[in-house]
Amino acid sequence: MTRAPSPAALHTLTAGSSGPRIAFLHGLFGQGRNWQQIAKGVVGEGGSDARALMIDLPDHGRSPWTDDFSYETYAARVADTISAWAGDEPVTLVGHSLGGKTAMIAALQHPAGFEKLCVVDIAPRSYHNLHRFAGYIAGMQALPLEELTSRRDAEERFAQVEPDPGVAAFLLQNLRRAGDSWAWQCNLQLVSRDAARGSASRIADFPYAVNAGDPLPAPSPFGGPTVWLAGSESGYVADEDTERMRELFPAVRKVTVKGAGHWVHTDAPQVVIETLRRLLAVR
C-alpha cells in the first residue's frame, strides 16, 4: 500500500497499478485502511485487475477535522479527492454506512465523476438518532486518556465497557499516542455533539430523505449501475427502503448477504470482493 497524492487534503491509500478505478469510503469511526482486505482482493495478486483508492473521510483517520458535520461537505471533499486521483477516468464508488450515505450524495451531486456505485448496508433515509452508537461514544469518552500507560492498558480498560474484542479493536484504532500523551484521532467531540441532537442528528439523517429534517431539493437520479449490499442480520436496510432507493438509483440491484451483520465486508469479505469484481466488469 502506498499513500496517494491528496490535493483536497484527505488522507488516502492506494492499491493496484492498472485497470478500472474503484474508491472506498468507510463508516463512522472507521478509516480507509479498513477496506484493505477488500481492495487487495479486487485489484488481484498482480495489482493489474483494478486500481483502488481508500479514503479517510473528514473527521476520521489522518484527514482534517471539520467544525460541524455536513454530508454535502463530505461528498464534495470526496469528489475533489477522487477527481485529483482519477482525472477524467470513470470511477466506481463504494461506501459503507456513513460512507455509504456520503457515496450516494456524492453520486447524486457530482454524477459526472462516477460511473458505478456500491452502497453497503445503509439506506437513503433518516435513522432518527445515533442511539446504536451511543454506547461506543460514551465508552470512548470515558477512557481516561491522561492515565494510560500503554496501548495494552487502553485495551484492558476499554474491555470493561466494550467486551466484544472485534468492536473494541475497531474503535481503539482511533487512539493515537503522541509522545507521552494519548488522543483520539477521530473528531469524537463532533460526533458526540451530533449525537446529543437526538432526532436532529445530521449523521443519522439523509439530506434527500422524504422524512429528513431539512431535506434538499429532489435531485436527478443517478443512472449508473448500482449494487446495494445488505447484511441479512443487520437491520439497517428494510424492505420499505427499496422504493426510495429505486427513485434515486433506478439501476440498483439489491444483494442480501446471508449471515452478515452491519459490517458486511468484514463478515463476508469474499462475497463482497466477488460482487465488486462483477460490478467493475459491467459495461
- Picking from 251, 227, 271, the residue whose alpha carbon sits closest to that of residue 119 is 227
Look up residue 55 and give its three cell numbers.
479514503
Q: Annotated catalytic residue: which of 194, 205, 241, 267?
A: 194
The 3-class SS string of 70-108 reads CHHHHHHHHHHHHHHHHCCCCEEEEEECHHHHHHHHHHH
Q: Residue 221's closest CA among 61, 79, 111, 97?
A: 111
262 is catalytic: yes
Annotated catalytic residue within 60, 96, 110, 262: 262
User: Cα(148)–Cα(157) distance, rounded to whole angstroms?
Assistant: 9
26 catalytic, yes or no? Answer: no
Q: Are 154 and 143 in contact (CB under 8 A)?
A: yes
Is position 83 annotated as part of the catalytic site?
no
DSSP label of 14 = E
Of the candidates 34, 74, 24, the residue with the CA atom closest to the CA atom of residue 202: 74
Q: How many residues are given for the chain?
A: 283
Q: Give CA–CA dist 90/76, Å, rounded.
A: 17
Name the nearest CA neighbour of 153 among 141, 144, 161: 144
Nearest Cα to 188, choosing from 204, 177, 172?
A: 172
CB 49, CB 8: distance < 8 Å: no
Catalytic residue among 6, 63, 97, 234: 97
- Positions marked active-site: 97, 194, 262
